[in-house]
Structure 1
């Protein structure tokens, strides 16, 4: 029987964010499944939208024996702490070593992990696994669409395969694609030639959405280029908030011959480059966005939905800034917003009880310039233990645990307050505290794009607002210091030089 060692270790690192990822963050998982070990990995990784779950399903259909090591993920944040990285990677690598002999290894990775001691987290993970399994065993990994792929990652893996949707509704499908490609490697006993290209400009995440052009069309053309000669081809727009050499978009192709791989990669690069002008769009200031939403809501039969994109916990924000909340209250909007991460305020609401009024310093505790706690008096409308299922297409039926949570109201604005961070990408993240999102005039979600998978069908209009937060919508606004020289800081933007200052761009 074919034996495959498997594991997962995912983190999307915003090196400019306020809070680092601890070992305990990976134990809990945030919006991801909690940490699992050994046989428990195969119990957790079933029928959910995660790369490893898709791989497990396809592998079992093939009759493969799986040897699970560890699965761990945490909400995006600043660097992964050294202790967390070493404990998890050591357990994974030791598990693979103990499983030998095996026929191959599959890893579910993100591709944009930066640790306290390694700029290229996945390059280090793949190097350590390769060192244990030797040069000949197939090693395949799935990656997030936001992967910042390095030459080292490409060198150590036999194949890297990235998601093709943002919102990421195809994570499990990507795991299945990895299993199919691994099956091809095992059947032919031949390696494919690799081609790797890095593109010359950063792409802001708000314009990476695959529901819209140009990205939708790019992936359609990419899929059409796959063939027997080029069985897998990926474009990763990158996560443009990781200050290291290999941050940015990339293309990686695997072909029967080097010429096949090179030709496919070059065609995708040319397609992406031709759309540089299109990777941009309208972003509103908080009051401007709220006022526009209120005007649209007067005649709309569905909610107007605003992305609070710069405090997206899916991009390293702490999900606690108050700029959009202040704008809603200031403009006397009828709206709901969430999730504001504030365990202290949630506990205070629980102690006061439903119907009580509480004076709080809500949110604003992550030290973001231009942001501060919002000191006001709120009505406690509903309380929750924070446990629910998120059935929408992004979370895919995942069990969620937001900890003690509350619905607070000020004026006609309702606020979801939670004790854990997770991107508001599912309608259930309103309903679990008694807010029915479909009947609200305006919804303000702490998310950039993932919310669209579940909210676009109920939206009259989507807007993007930029209140103070850890993930600037304008990538050129970040204080870059380590990028590779010459990469443009945004589409058609200023090229980076090592002496680049905070004021340039």
Structure 2
């Protein structure tokens, strides 16, 4: 029986976002399961769409003995605080150290974590783990499709295996794939050769969706390139809002020989670069998008769904900007709903007032985003909720959610989901838990970029993407980059990054 230490530490860091990830954020989890340690981890991480859950399920088919450390994840936002990083990393590393002797280690990581003191958060964790286990033991990692893969991550791990869907409906499947690859390593007793390439342009997240081309076709080709000679191949489009040198897309493979791995990486990278211009699409201004949705809804049998992409809490937004709500009110939209606006103070006021009461609020707009402010208006409190429910759709896949005290507020014929915790609106249950039936609305505005499509595309008349003020610009070229690697294009066929003069002076001084 093989003895495997397991753990998870996930955060997608938007270094331009307004709010940092504290230890308390990891304790709660946001849209992720709450922090879990020790034996409870093997009980909680089952039958849900998380990489570690998939690994545990597959490990049971091999009769492996699993030694759990910790699972901790938080909603995307700005840098992980040094306190949170060090406390959680210590629990992982100390847990692995105390579990020795081991046959292998598996970690469920994101791949785009930046802390206050480490640009490559995952690379540092893997370095510390490798220092404990030595070079002989296999170390296998599952990664998010949005991982900004850095050389240290590739160096320290025996295999990095990334999701292949966005919306990420295959997180658990990726954990299973990691377990199967680890089984191969343990059976054969030898490592595979690695190949890794970073690509020369940033890809906006709205055009990374694997339901659409070109990404759909790229992943189909990726699957075809895998073989007995190259058992695993990954493409990470990256998370284009982390200001450090290794932000961006990458391809990596593990082969029987270096030539096998390199050939697979070269073929896939060439295909992606040939599609550079295809990673683009139409983004609407708020009023433009709402007016189009109102026109389309006149003859529609299903709701028109708008992605409020720049305030996506799954990409670092605080889920509290009011640009899309203002556009709905300004254009007198009817049978419309928007969610979820994160505002604990307004949720508390609604609960104090009670169902049926009217409340005058300064709703949302508290994260300091340029061009945004609280929306001051009088609302009717339609329903109240404690915020606890199960999200059964394909993305959350039965995950228990806790949005904290919440309310459905109505202004005119527009309903607003107001929550005390934030998570991107990627499941129909995130409207239903405050009494809004999404299929009965003419227009739905979701604070999400792509994940919502897993559960909402089947009920949508049309999907639109709008750019109201928020922390995650639809166009990465608009961000004030300072630390990218020189020459990378800031969007498909966009301008190349040139380091600011002050950064160049700093680099020269260090050299």
Question: Do both share a fold (TM > 0.5)?
Answer: yes
* Per-residue deviation, 1:18: 0.1
SS of residue matched to 1:125: helix
1:64 is matched with: 64
1:292 is matched with: 292
Segments of structure 2 that go 5 or more residues without pairing to the other structure are: 503-511
2:155 is aligned with 1:160: no
Q: Distance in 1 between matches of 2:245 and 2:136?
A: 29
Deviations 1:215-270 (A, max 9, x none): 00000000000000000000000000000000000000000000000000000100
Deviations 1:382-437 (A, max 9, x none): 00000000000000100000000000000110000000000000000000000000
1:136 is matched with: 136
2:172 is matched with: 172
Q: Distance in 2 between matches of 1:500 and 1:6?
A: 44
Q: Distance in 1 between matches of 2:473 and 2:177?
A: 33
Q: Is the 8 A contact 1:340 1:417 kept in 2?
A: yes
The equivalences for 1:280-359 within 5 A come to 280-334=280-334, 335-359=336-360
* Per-residue deviation, 1:308: 0.1
* Per-residue deviation, 1:61: 1.2
2:19 is matched with: 19
Q: Distance in 2 between matches of 1:30 and 1:93?
A: 24
2:85 is matched with: 85
2:505 is matched with: none
Q: Distance in 2 between matches of 1:152 and 1:63?
A: 32
Q: Distance in 2 between matches of 1:485 and 1:73?
A: 31
2:182 is aligned with 1:182: yes
Runs of 4+ in 1 over 4 A off after TM superposition: none
Q: Is the 8 A contact 1:37 1:70 kept in 2?
A: yes
Deviations 1:324-370 (A, max 9, x none): 00000000002000000000000000000000000000000000000
1:254 is matched with: 254
Q: Distance in 1 between matches of 2:372 and 2:213?
A: 33
Q: Is the 8 A contact 1:343 1:404 kept in 2?
A: yes
Segments of structure 1 that go 5 or more residues without pairing to the other structure are: none
Q: Distance in 2 between matches of 1:221 and 1:357?
A: 56
1:94 is matched with: 94
1:392 is matched with: 393
Q: Is the 8 A contact 1:201 1:491 kept in 2?
A: yes
Q: Distance in 2 between matches of 1:2 and 1:44?
A: 22
2:3 is matched with: 3
2:445 is aligned with 1:444: yes
* Per-residue deviation, 1:377: 0.3
Q: Distance in 1 between matches of 2:43 and 2:59?
A: 14
Structure 1-normalised TM-score?
A: 0.99
2:422 is matched with: 421
SS of residue matched to 2:314: helix
Q: What is the root-mean-square deviation of aligned Cα atoms in Å? A: 0.7
2:431 is matched with: 430
Q: Is the 8 A contact 1:193 1:255 kept in 2?
A: yes
1:376 is matched with: 377
The alignment of Structure 1 onto Structure 2 pairs a total of residues equal to 501
Deviations 1:103-146 (A, max 9, x none): 00000000000000000000001000000000110000000000
1:476 is matched with: 477
Q: Distance in 1 between matches of 2:102 and 2:135?
A: 13
* Per-residue deviation, 1:500: 7.8
Q: Is the 8 A contact 1:230 1:261 kept in 2?
A: yes
* Per-residue deviation, 1:192: 0.3
Q: Distance in 1 between matches of 2:375 and 2:61?
A: 53
1:28 is matched with: 28
2:213 is matched with: 213
Q: Is the 8 A contact 1:388 1:400 kept in 2?
A: yes
The equivalences for 1:446-465 within 5 A come to 446-465=447-466
The equivalences for 1:105-124 within 5 A come to 105-124=105-124
Deviations 1:183-203 (A, max 9, x none): 000000010000000000000
2:126 is matched with: 126
Q: Distance in 2 between matches of 1:396 and 1:416?
A: 21
* Per-residue deviation, 1:480: 0.2
* Per-residue deviation, 1:499: 1.9
The equivalences for 1:486-505 within 5 A come to 486-499=487-500
Q: Distance in 2 between matches of 1:40 and 1:125?
A: 22
